[in-house]
Structure 1
Amino acid sequence: MSLKIVTIGGGSSYTPELVEGFIKRYHELPIEELWLVDCEAGKEKLEIVGNLAKRMVEKAGVPIKIFLTLNRREALKGADFVTTQMRVGLLDARVKDERIPLSHGLLGQETNGAGGLFKGLRTIPVILDICKDMEELCPNAWLINFTNPAGMVTEAVNRYSSIKRVIGLCNVPIDMHTAIANILNADKSKVKVTFGGLNHMVFATSVFLDGEDVTSQVLSKWGKQSMNNITGTEWNNAFVKELGVIPSPYQRYYFMAKETLEEAVKKYEENGTRAEKVKEMEEELFEMYKDTELKEKPKLLEKRGGAYYSDAACSLISSIYNDKGDIQVVNTVNRGALSDLDPDEVAEVSAVITKEGPIPITIGKLPKAVKGLVQQIKSFEVAACEAAVTGDYNKALLAMIINPLVASQRYGNIVLDELLEAHKEYLPNFFETRK
């Protein structure tokens, strides 16, 4: 059986990694057509990345046909898998998400706090429109989403769409697995790590090396581990050991809130937010992509915070297609895996991947020290989804203020108003409901 895969946001700088992943798996994933889709604003980038993709496929000698289009519905007809890697408003919107909250002393970040809320508000209506097209044009296709905030977006699809074949992906567990293997000085394939929580609020709950439980050993050594887009203070080993689960780099925003905010404000004042650095890197990448002699993914791409997202997507698609039954970390319906969340809520959890989709591994209860935070973030996600769908100002205000990185009526209100105005072009439902 030949496969048709559609990538929405095909002009993304991550697309070469996706193409590389499909090329190296062609022996087990016989893709006949790969459609790269983008919007008018992304047309130039789509052509640049698309031409690189064609060169990569030609060099590899695999018979994958690459199609470039701005017509989403044309692309979706008969698709087997649809991947989404969008940024509504492009990087300029991310700059606003970071800088506006920071101007009021609140953390501005792509997937957390006020910035994360607004990325969700812009993205969810677009994703749900894609789902409507899928319901009509490829109702049996799998939707593999790695558009951030991945957990919130997957929650919205699960709640407000009839598309149930949806899985969210994140590269954080992959990075953590690699870091854990390095701590143990062991081959990654021999290290089994179980994860549970939410997207960017996930914890490694157990670690086994060659069948032996080595969780406490990793807990006592978890210090410097971070990601390209998250820096800052090292973890206090005594704290992590008492916590009982291994935190992701994103938990710095919560367990080191003061330190990370101080660092972010300093960068903001120096005009050095992460968004602006990413813009510079994007420009450099696309200059490289234009080179007709380039026929492979450049190393610079690995310095982006989302490196290995795309490879994870390729691995997931292959596991579903081949009914592998291997274990991967995905955003999927909880189904009782984490007893601290409702069964029908989306969790980020280790799961067995089959042709019918993910089967979450039962973890049970999280430690009391982290349970409340996970539940608070889930309540924020659910409120944000409802706000995105309804365009209701008060629901957005609720989501803003209950987020622990905001937790201020005064500044939450101010930042909400400023971000709504800044992103007015991409939030029409909010302004329609306020007429």
Structure 2
Amino acid sequence: MSFKIAIIGAGSVGFTKKLFTDILCVPEFEDIEFALTDVSEHNLAMIKAILDRIVEANKLPTKVTATTNRREALEGARYIISCVRVGGLEAYADDIRIPLKYGIDQCVGDTICAGGILYGQRNIPVILDFCRDIREVAATGAKFLNYANPMAMNTWAAIEYGKVDTVGLCHGVQHGAEQIAQVLGAKSPKELDYVCSGINHQTWFIELKLNGRPIGKDELISAFEAHPVYSKQEKLRIDVLKRFGVYSTESNGHLSEYLPWYRKRPDEIARWIDMSDWIHGETGGYLRYSTETRNWFETEYPQFLEAASKPIDPAKRSNEHASHILEALETNRVYRGHFNVKNNGVITNLPQDAIIESPGFVDRFGINMAAGITLPEACAATCMASINVQRMSVHAAIAGDIDLLKLAVLHDPLVGAVSTPEEVWQMVDEMVVAQAQWLPQYAHAVPAAKERLSKSKVKTREWAGAARRSVRSIEELRAEKAALKQAG
């Protein structure tokens, strides 16, 4: 087979390498072309060198090109994969820092909440540019695989306004299933059969079977509470399981910021999080992790390049959806996964226009969703709160409507639990002004926002958050990795 895959945001070096090696685990795909594109020439050069080394070491005919000219990369592409972070870590730091001044403590801030909503405002204009280029220069019927957050908002914009065949992809369902299989004592995650449905980062395991035996709420609660690690790391997640009756795909930290109950008072946050790793609730945890990962990669790049000389091992192919979807579409080997698509009746008690995450099957005819799923009422209610925020956020981003943007933030569950309307209005003005270079649709609104900020009497505070850790130095990271290697 010979076709072209374009990867936008290919400078996300580690993730691009994973996608690349996964795809090349499919024997029929060795003759394809990968066209890498990114706004950073530096990152592009690094990832191209790594992928060239992989191709050379495995004696493959695979073609790899790299360019900052996106349209050139997209020309004739059958598949386009996006893993962009518009504004990079600079804008992301503001997504965490500014809401903290108003008492909003986020662990990740990339889906909803104040940070996720502004992230969407930066992404959506760029996503629409991608879609325009796909329509104009990519292969007829090209498929857009979006890995970038905020997943639902990006996918919503691409489908509704970009008019491109789009699917959103995430690995939260797979990771949640691995956890459940582990606490139930399964020898392999493959022993667990499940139906998981909802919206991205609020997906729910509504049916579980281990080797064909149904698993009920009480058994699952007991298994998690008895686990020596997860009982401490997933306290909030287990509490939601007890109250809702079903387990959420999302980590303790992620889930905590989509709900109005657990992060609204600083003295309560420590009760529900665990500081053993960023993902369990640390303030700005993913920002710290991302910063450390970038610094580590820049410093240790020669080691990453050397590691690329190893043979590709198909047994180590990851459970990221992309390679499996492409394999199913091109070879007709059926793949079952969980995909982010427009609802259109798949989930009976969520809106038709929402972007849902639910089971589907892929073959040469495309992605075919399993329809007629009904969520438990509490799960649907929680999803609905986020969907309403997402819808307003997408519409605000398309129109450049700062008043609608403020209403979207006001209706966010955690923001609404913490902040007053006056605080929300000022916070959004402050974030739009700080991120103006990535928000072209709000250029007309920036002068008035600056004027309001100069006259505002809303009080803020300089606050690092309830559970903030400093970015570690390269020396500290080396010492930790050495200690883990010795202990393991």
2:241 matches 1:240:
yes
CA contact (8 A) 2:402 2:442 kept: yes
2:307 aligns with 294
Contact 2:96 2:284 survives alignment (8 Å) = no
Q: Is residue 277 from structure 1 mapped to residue 281 from structure 2 by the alignment?
A: no
Structure 2 equivalent of residue 209 of structure 1: 210
Distance in 2, matches of 1:60 and 1:99, equals: 45
| Corresponding residue number in structure 2 for 1:19 | 20
1:35-85 alpha-carbon deviations (Å, 9 max, x no partner): 11011xx11011111111111121122221110101111111111100000
The CA distance in 2 between the partners of 1:394 and 1:147, in whole Å, is 26
Query: What one-letter code is carried by the residue in structure 1 that aligns with 2:123?
Result: T
Q: Give CA deviations for 1:123-159 in whole Å, capped at 9, x if unaligned.
A: 0110111100111112411100000111111111111
Q: Which range moves more in the overlay, 391-400 or 241-250?
A: 241-250
Q: Cα distance 1:58–1:224, how it changes in 2: closer, same or farther (>3 A)?
A: farther
Change beyond 3 A, Cα 1:2–1:215: farther
Against the structure 1 CA distance between its residues 96 and 180, is the aligned structure 2 distance closer, same or farther, given a 3 Å change threshold? same
Q: Quick one: distance in 2 between partners of 1:31 and 1:183?
A: 42
Q: Structure 1, residues 4-27: CA drift from partner, whole Å, max 9, x if none? A: 1000001113211112212222x1
- Matches for 1:292-371 after TM superposition, within 5 Å: 292-295=305-308, 311-362=320-371, 364-371=373-380
Residues 121-200 of structure 1: matches in 2 within 5 Å? 121-138=121-138, 139-163=140-164, 165-186=165-186, 187-200=188-201
1-side partners of 2:398 and 2:162: how far apart?
Answer: 11
Give 1:409 deviation, angstroms: 1.0
Q: Any conservation in 2 of the 1:29–1:321 contact (CA below 8 Å)?
A: no
Distance 1:405 1:259 in 2: 11
Q: Which amino acid in 2 is paired with 1:409?
A: P
Q: Give the drift of 1:431.
A: 1.4
Q: How many Å apart are 1:29 and its aligned residue? A: 3.1
- Which of 46, 49, 54 matches 2:47? 49
The answer to whether 1:401 aligns with 2:410 is yes
Give the match for residue 484 of structure 2.
none
1:185–1:110 Cα change, 3 Å: same
Contact 2:240/2:247 (<8 A) preserved? no
**Counterpart for residue 314 of structure 2:** none
- Correspondent of 1:90 among 67, 88, 91: 88
Q: SS of the residue aligned with 1:135? A: helix
Does residue 425 of the first structure (1) align with residue 468 of the second (2)?
A: no
Tell me if structure 2 keeps the 8 A contact 1:98–1:273: no
Instruction: Report the equivalent of 1:301.
Output: none
Given the superposition, is the C-alpha separation of residues 43 and 335 from structure 1 closer, same or farther in structure 2, using an over 3 Å criterion? same
2:477 corresponds in structure 1 to none
| Equivalences for residues 61-76 of structure 1 within 5 A | 61-76=59-74
Equivalent residue letter for 1:97:
D
Correspondence for 2:100:
102
Partner of 1:218: 220
State the identity as a percent. 27
Contact 2:204 2:379 in 1 (8 A): no
- Describe the superposition over 1:266-312 as per-residue Cα deviations: whole angstroms up to 9, x where unpaired: 99xx9974313321211112333344423169xxxxxxxxx968x33
- Give the Cα separation in 2 of the matches to 1:296 and 1:174: 29
CA distance in 1, matches of 2:325, 2:224: 28
Separation in 1, partners of 2:372, 2:221: 18
Q: CA deviation at 1:365?
A: 2.3
Alignment partners' CA distance in 1, 2:80 and 2:56: 23
Question: Structure 1 residues 308, 252: CA separation in 2 closer, same or farther (over 3 Å shift)?
Answer: farther
Please, which moves more after superposition, 165-174 or 341-350? 341-350
In the aligned structure 2, how far is the partner of 1:271 from the partner of 1:256?
A: 13
Counterpart position of 1:80: 78
For 2:366 and 2:426, the matched residues in 1 are separated by 42
Three-state SS of the structure 1 residue aligned to 2:307 is coil
> Structure 1 residues 290 and 388 mapped into 2: Cα distance closer, same or farther (>3 Å)?
farther
Deviation at 1:342, TM superposition (A): 2.3
- Following superposition, the deviation at residue 110 of structure 1 comes to 2.3
Question: What does residue 251 of structure 1 align with?
Answer: 255
Q: Which residue identity lines up with residue 76 of structure 1 in the other structure?
A: L
1:295 aligned partner, one-letter code: A
SS at match of 1:406: helix
Tell me: CA distance 1:31–1:403, structure 2 relative to 1, closer, same or farther (3 Å): farther
TM-score by length of 2: 0.79
CA offset at residue 345 of structure 1? 2.5
CA offsets 1:342-365 (integer angstroms, 9 cap, x no match) = 234210111112333322223532
- For the Cα contact (< 8 Å) 2:153–2:394, is it kept in 1? yes
CA distance in 2, matches of 1:206, 1:330: 17
User: Residues 238 and 200 (structure 1 numbering): CA distance in 2 closer, same or farther, change over 3 Å?
Assistant: closer
Note the residue ranges of structure 1 that are not aligned, 5 or more in a row: 298-306
Distance in 2, Cα, partners of 1:401 & 1:46: 39
Query: Larger C-alpha radius of gyration, 1 or 2?
Result: 2
State the SS of the aligned residue for 2:175.
Answer: helix
Task: Report the TM-score, using the length of structure 1 for normalisation.
Answer: 0.88
Contact 2:262 2:269 in 1 (8 A): no
Q: Distance in 2 between matches of 1:243 and 1:290?
A: 48
* Contact 1:319 1:326 (8 Å CA) reproduced: yes
Q: How far did residue 392 of structure 1 move?
A: 0.7
8 Å contact from structure 1 (residues 36, 66) kept in 2: yes
Q: Which amino acid aligns with 2:76?
A: G
